[in-house]
Chain A
Amino acid sequence: MEAIGRRRWTISGGHIPLESNGPEPAFTSRDEIAVLNCSGKAARLRIHIHYADRPAVGPYEVEVAGRRVRRIRFNDLIFPEALPLGEDFGAVIEADVPVVVQFSRFDGGAQPRNAVATAAYAERNLRGGRQ
């Protein structure tokens, strides 16, 4: 199948909720991306995390097999550095083949602030190209 999507995606409203309630990992509060790779080959993702008050950290390297979807919790990324919970961040996601990225948050804290399911922002990064 032909690749669908973009090679570069961004998320600006990251903030992993600190508190969780209920059995884990199902009820762990989290910021998560779901990555759909429709192409026939594995997609290699390089993620850079940006913060409000310090330099960006990355790349976090993740692979998504061809013709698969993979959910990646920002909570679980530890290389090169674990993301702090409860802190604002933005993410720039670069893939070596076009993919579709969807961002979501599950906040299971005692006073959940919001639940978000939103498309990340995809840049039209192949000048004039279809992808």
Chain B
Amino acid sequence: MPNTPWSATSDNLDQDCHNWSGGLRFRPSRLEVPESEEAVAALVRTAARQGRCIRPVGSAHSSSEIYLTDDILVSLAKIRGLGDHDAQRHRATVGAGSQLTELSKELQAAGMTLSNFGDVATQTVGGAIGTGTHGSGRNSPNLSMMLVGGRLVTAEGEIRALGFDEEPDLLRALRVSFGTLGILTWATLELEPLHDLHRQEWCLGFEPCMEALDRLSRENRNFDFYWYPRSDEVKIRCLNTPGEEKDYGAFARLAKDETGPPHAVIPQHSDLPHRFEEMEYSITAEAGTECLGKLRARIKERWRRWVGWRLLYRYIKADDSWLSEAYGRDSVSISLHQNATLPYWDFFLDLEPIMRDHGGRPHWAKKHSLRAAELKSLYPMWDRFLALRQEMDPHGRFLTPYLRRLLGC
């Protein structure tokens, strides 16, 4: 079965597809769930012959339209699990349709772990990598940086082996490309030996948090915080190798304390029963607090009446993936949330200019209003990405009207 919020009994849908939040609804002409990599390739060859468009999908957690199509949707749900792996070098080749939660248990049994996660682990490998999904930590790049090789079904329906050592630029382009260069079937990931992390959550006021922020973000392996607009309080979340944690009892109240492997203690909201919509931008780490200050003032002044959801502030280490939010700059990301059942768009659009004024780059998987003209100036490697994309998919097999507007092609 596809690993998506909707259910399909076979390769034909008897209902609309929708994303995790329920905010996006669409009806592809077909939903395909191929059994093997060769079947994916055959599907693309047929689509190519018929001049049709094909879009891969993971768990459909994204709330931007990056996988929406009225043509062929292909789920990699049956290409999953741990393939070849080497625990000594902590590398593993895994099915791109693997859900991170399930995969982590297999990796745990093999003595390895992903080095980081987002707030949930319900994404697939292909989806998390393809959108630059990230957790938080000054020394933690996004999850796409784990990708060092693998296998890709190209626009011609050929299976292409990938390796960072052989084709570094292809990997730099592919890591964050949301299925516009090809369909990743198997991903070779750079992992870590299995280890435990000690998670501590502390509650404190906004001002004391800001005063200590630089130190807090530097002395924890993973660090982020929520700001609660209706109480002006903050919850910081710190994860460290056991024994290396700090005691913030002098200025904060301990709210949670647990230890376990990364997949058990980093993602905490995988079972969240309630849906939300989200806008997220990344800005340089230096500009983070100024931007946050302006957002906070605006929310208190204008939005507190309607918005009870917290704002999330995270750190992402710079990388060199061409379309990564953190390309070339150590970043912080700021996420706005609103209940999916409440109006959210006016709130997001009111605050988006503040994040854009600080050079913000939107998360590819979340709500934003930008199109190619605005995005181009944010990504130094934009033109090179588009040139490579054109070369790899000259007939736009992996494009939809939304993606054409987004990329300007």
Contact = CB atoms under 8 A, between A and B. Distances in A.
A18 B305 contact: yes
Nearest to A82: B308
A75 B228 CA distance: 11
A72 interface: no
A82 B307 contact: yes
Nearest to B304: A85
A79 B342 CA distance: 12
Contacts of B35: none
Contacts of B228: 76
A74 to B, nearest CB: 10
Interface string B211-232: 0000000000000000010111
B308 A78 contact: yes
Interface string A75-91: 11111111111100000
A25 interface: yes
A80 B232 contact: no
B306 A82 contact: yes
A82 B339 contact: yes
A52 to B, nearest CB: 16
Given A78-B339, A80-B274, A80-B341, A28 B230 contact: yes
Given A76-B228, A86-B305, A81 B233 contact: no
Contacts of B341: 80-81
A76 B308 CA distance: 7
Interface residues of B, number: 17
A84 B235 CA distance: 23
A53 interface: no
Contact of B230 (A75, A81, A86): A75
Given A84-B305, A86-B305, A24 B231 contact: yes
Contacts, number: 47
A73 B229 CA distance: 13
Contacts of B339: 78, 80-82
Interface of A is mostly: loop
A36 B309 CA distance: 27
Contact of B232 (A24, A77, A86): A24
B394 to A, nearest CB: 47
Contacts of B205: 24-25
Given A79-B274, A82-B309, A28 B342 contact: no
A82 B233 CA distance: 17
A77 B274 contact: no
A76 B307 CA distance: 10
A59 to B, nearest CB: 11
A28 B232 CA distance: 9
A82 B231 contact: no
B343 to A, nearest CB: 11
B305 A76 contact: no
A85 B339 CA distance: 15
B231 A76 contact: yes
A12 B239 CA distance: 44
B308 A77 contact: yes
Interface string B290-324: 00000000000000111111000000000000000
B231 to A, nearest CB: 4
Nearest to B339: A81
Contacts of B273: 79
Contacts of B274: 79-80
A25 B232 contact: yes
Nearest to A27: B232
Nearest to B341: A81
B230 to A, nearest CB: 5
B231 A28 contact: yes
Interface string B328-360: 000000000001011000000000000000000
B305 A75 contact: no
A82 B342 contact: yes
28 contacts: A18-B304, A24-B205, A24-B232, A25-B205, A25-B232, A25-B233, A28-B230, A28-B231, A28-B232, A75-B230, A75-B231, A76-B228, A76-B231, A76-B308, A78-B308, A78-B309, A78-B339, A79-B273, A80-B274, A80-B339, A80-B341, A81-B339, A81-B341, A82-B308, A82-B309, A84-B305, A84-B306, A86-B305
In the complex, the 10 A-B pairs of residues with the closest C-beta atoms, listed nearest first: A82-B308, A24-B232, A25-B231, A78-B308, A79-B274, A75-B230, A85-B305, A81-B339, A80-B274, A81-B341
